[in-house]
């Protein structure tokens, strides 16, 4: 079944106004500070409840790095920053090695083009 782009556009156009009204500042129910505070408290309670459910299930994300490092998402910013710095240093070393190898290859190509066919074997 082929879906028409016009149909997709109509569905998106129908959904956009609903999403835009999700947090309407002109909502009559949210005009006073008490209603906004009540709504904020309810939202905060729902967020905490969902977070508790996730933690209860023991869900965490894990990243296995190419170098064999395995880290869990425990919110340890200092550890994450160290990992980032280590990854950036690895990248800089790798990039420098790549640039050296490419410069060597370009020299060999230039020599080969100049008639030094022994340089063409590399």
Count of domains for the chain: 1
**What average pLDDT score do residues 49-61 get?**
77
Range of 97's domain? 76-122
Residue 5 lies in a domain: no
Residue 82 lies in a domain: yes
Q: What is the pLDDT of residues 31-43, one digit of tens each?
A: 888 888 888 899 9
Residue 98 lies in a domain: yes
Residue 11 lies in a domain: no
Q: What is the pLDDT of residues 68-116, one digit of tens each?
A: 555 555 557 788 889 999 999 999 999 999 999 999 999 999 999 999 8
* 70: phi then psi, degrees, rounded to nearest 5: -125, 125
pLDDT at 81: 87
pLDDT at 87: 95
pTM assigned to the model: 0.37
DSSP of 53-118, one letter per residue? HHHHHT---EEE-TTS-EEE-S--HHHHHHHHHHHHHHHHHHHHHHHHHHHHHHHHHHHHHTT-GG
């Amino acid at each position: 079944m082929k879906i028409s782009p016009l149909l997709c556009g109509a569905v998106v156009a129908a959904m956009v106004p609903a999403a835009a009204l999700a947090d309407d500042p002109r909502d009559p129910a949210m005009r006073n500070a008490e209603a906004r505070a009540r709504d904020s408290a309810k939202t905060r309670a729902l967020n905490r409840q969902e977070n508790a459910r996730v933690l209860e299930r023991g869900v965490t994300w894990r990243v296995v790095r190419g170098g064999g490092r395995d880290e869990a998402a425990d919110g340890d910013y200092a550890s994450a920053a160290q990992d980032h710095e280590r990854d950036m240093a690895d990248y800089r070393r790798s990039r420098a090695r790549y640039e050296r190898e490419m410069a060597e290859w370009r020299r060999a190509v230039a020599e080969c083009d100049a008639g030094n066919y022994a340089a063409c074997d590399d």
